[in-house]
Amino acid sequence: MHQVASIFHAISLPRIDFHDDLGNHTRCLPLLLLWHIFFWWVATAMAETKFQKLGRRSPSEYSLEVEDCCMFGNVISWHPLKLTICWLVLLILLTISYSSKEPDVEGEALIDFLKVLNDSKSQISDWNYNLVSPCFSWSHITCRNGNVISLSLGSKGFSGTLSPSITKLKFLVSLELQDNNLSGVLPDYLASMAQLQNLNLANNNFSGSIPTTWGQLPSLKHLVLRGNHLSGTIPDSIANITGLTELDLSSNDLSGRIPVQLFSILSFNFTGTRLTCDPGMEQPCVSRPPLPVSTRKSKLGVVVTSASCGAFLLLSLGAMFAYLHHYVHKLKHDVFVDVAGEDDRKISFSQLRRFSLRELQLATENFSESNMIGQGGFGKVYKGVLSDNTKVAVKRLTDYNSPGGEAAFQREVQLISVAVHRNLLQLIGFCTTSSERILVYPFMQNLSVAYRLRELKPGEKGLDWPTRKRVAFGAAHGLEYLHEHCNPKIIHRDLKAANILLDDDFEAVLGDFGLAKLVDTKLTHVTTQVRGTMGHIAPEYLHTGKSSEKTDVFGYGITLLELVTGQRAVDLSRLDEEENVLLLDHII
């Protein structure tokens, strides 16, 4: 017995004072027990070995009493089965200790944040409040050193608002909520998130102005607010964020001057807004794409490796780089790029698609008159359904003669496709053959202003006065973008109620603008064949064939009269009662 005790004393088991800071925490008790039993287990193993060599009974057959070595000074029986049971009990105690600690602050904040986001589609199902830390198994979360640093919840169908609980994530670096249906105003409290570097709220329904307090985000590098309903001006404080490298405010209703400091940002985008820049600025005013990532180091590595491989390898690399340079240079000047696996599909920088004539024939039932939904000065419009069940509006142009043939037509289509604004109808694609010129647009379920004013079917919704006012402003914004922000500027030449479409929210979307001739910014007018709809054509354009921005202003005025009176610009039915068939003459 004495020999066994001497072995246990030789282990020099550390003594722990329960009056120190560590001992004051109840949750550390299982760890302390585990610490002591570990030393007891080592001592037992050593004693087992020693007694086996001596041919005597092992300590497991003894009931050992050791003073000053046990935490509680109790008698411990070290039978192997009891030792195993002790280990299992300790593991259970450890689990209980860590699962029953006070709720994790970041976990609570995330649960509260998710509730306000309104996850009606249950896209996030593994955020479990009973799990202590979100860093263990929660999806869409990235952690570092046990703290949440990234939250990626894009394209989840959320329809709620932002919760102040997000500010409890003190170490959050990236917050991505793009492509949802979130609404409300942009909150001031995000300014307290000192570590935030990336904030992406693109393509939601946020309204109001950009908070001035966001200029207090010292670490912010990427701010993307594209495709919302933001209004007002850009706060000067945003321009004072020294580390900002990307700013995308496109497709919003922002107005006013762009702070000059923002033009020093590596990547910015203000297209689709009413923002203006100071006259005489040499920098691009609308957008600047991100700069390509530097490859200086990789090129240096190639040079060093090539030098060791001899002159032949150098010549081979030179030929390869020359070919790649020629290929890239060719792509820069070629508007359309082949899509892999489809010889007849082409795509542009704005994802413009080239359709085959057969596709559009099938979509419109061979341009059936039963599918015709409109007709104007440039051709007929048909409703169509593509093979993936996407509804489209197919405009079949008539008498379209481009001096440069198909290549010139494609260049004009490309210029049209980059005119992106919330109040302009975005082109999806086109089709061109030796005898056809066809444009493809998204189908607007609420059709046009003309339809809602005069062609309603029983039970359908008309236009109340607030909606008419919103339509008037939306059309004006779209027209202003064509005149002031497109380079070269675009003259519509056929502005009328039938060409103002209505989206799902009854917002005005200007159509048919892409069919006008493009005017060089140095010119004040362009002389072309007179196109348009009688009653909407400005007198000077009709007489001289010269169109300018004033031509569109006249058409806009007639459209306002249509909105107010609900009547047509030309109504031949009036001939039975009066001589004036023009709405303008009738009003005057």
Is residue 403 located within the same domain as residue 522?
no
Residues 257/280, Cβ–Cβ less than 8 Å:
no
Residue at 580 is within a domain: yes
Any idea what the CATH number is for the domain that residue 377 is in? 3.30.200.20
Q: How confident is the model at residue 229 (pLDDT cuts 50, 70, 90)?
A: very high
DSSP structure class, residue 418: T
Is residue 387 located within the same domain as residue 465?
no
Is residue 505 located within the same domain as residue 536?
yes
Helix (H, G, I), strand (E, B), or coil: what is residue 455?
coil
Summarize pLDDT for 73-85 with one digit per residue, the tens. 444 444 555 555 6
Residue at 296 is within a domain: no
Any idea what the CATH number is for the domain that residue 128 is in? 3.80.10.10
- Cα 529 from Cα 545, distance rounded (Å): 6
pLDDT given at position 44: 58
pLDDT given at position 217: 93
Is residue 511 located within the same domain as residue 392?
no
Domain end point (choices 238, 273, 288)? 288
Find all residues with CB under 8 Å of 452, minimum gap 6, and list them: 446, 460, 461, 462, 463, 502
Is residue 476 located within the same domain as residue 571?
yes
Is residue 132 located within the same domain as residue 275?
yes
Residue at 301 is within a domain: no
The sign of the dihedral angle between the CA atoms of 238, 239, 240, 242 is positive
Is residue 94 located within the same domain as residue 113?
no
Domain end point (choices 59, 81, 99)? 99
Average pLDDT over residues 190-194: 93
Residue at 86 is within a domain: yes
395 annotated to bind ligand = yes
What is the DSSP code string of 3-69?
Answer: HHHHHHHHT-PPP--TTSTTTT-GGGHHHHHHHHHHHHHHHHHHHHHHHHHHTS--GGGSEE--TTT
Domain count, the chain: 4
Q: How confident is the model at residue 12 (pLDDT cuts 50, 70, 90)?
A: very low
Range of the domain at 331: 311-443
Helix (H, G, I), strand (E, B), or coil: what is residue 511?
coil
Residue at 18 is within a domain: yes
Is residue 253 located within the same domain as residue 318?
no
Q: Which of 104, 253, 494, 512 is catalytic?
A: 494
Pick from 481, 476, 474, 480: which is nearest to 508 by CA?
Answer: 474
Is residue 137 located within the same domain as residue 275?
yes
Helix (H, G, I), strand (E, B), or coil: what is residue 329?
helix
Residue at 83 is within a domain: yes
Is residue 236 located within the same domain as residue 169?
yes
With 80 as the cut, is the pLDDT of residue 227 above it?
Answer: yes
Residue at 137 is within a domain: yes
Segment holding 206, helix H or strand E: strand 205-208
Q: Specify whether 494 is catalytic.
A: yes
Q: Which of 22-26, 363-367, 472-476, 482-486 has the lowest mean pLDDT?
A: 22-26
Residues 491/517, Cβ–Cβ less than 8 Å:
yes
Share of the chain above pLDDT 70, in %: 57
Is residue 371 located within the same domain as residue 243?
no
Any idea what the CATH number is for the domain that residue 511 is in? 1.10.510.10
Number of H helices, E strands in the chain: 14, 29
Pick from 344, 390, 343, 340: which is nearest to 363 by CA?
Answer: 390
Domain end point (choices 219, 253, 288)? 288
pLDDT given at position 478: 87
Is residue 367 located within the same domain as residue 486?
no
Residue at 300 is within a domain: no
Q: Which of 140-144, 462-466, 525-529 has the lowest mean pLDDT?
A: 525-529
The sign of the dihedral angle between the CA atoms of 428, 434, 437, 438 is negative
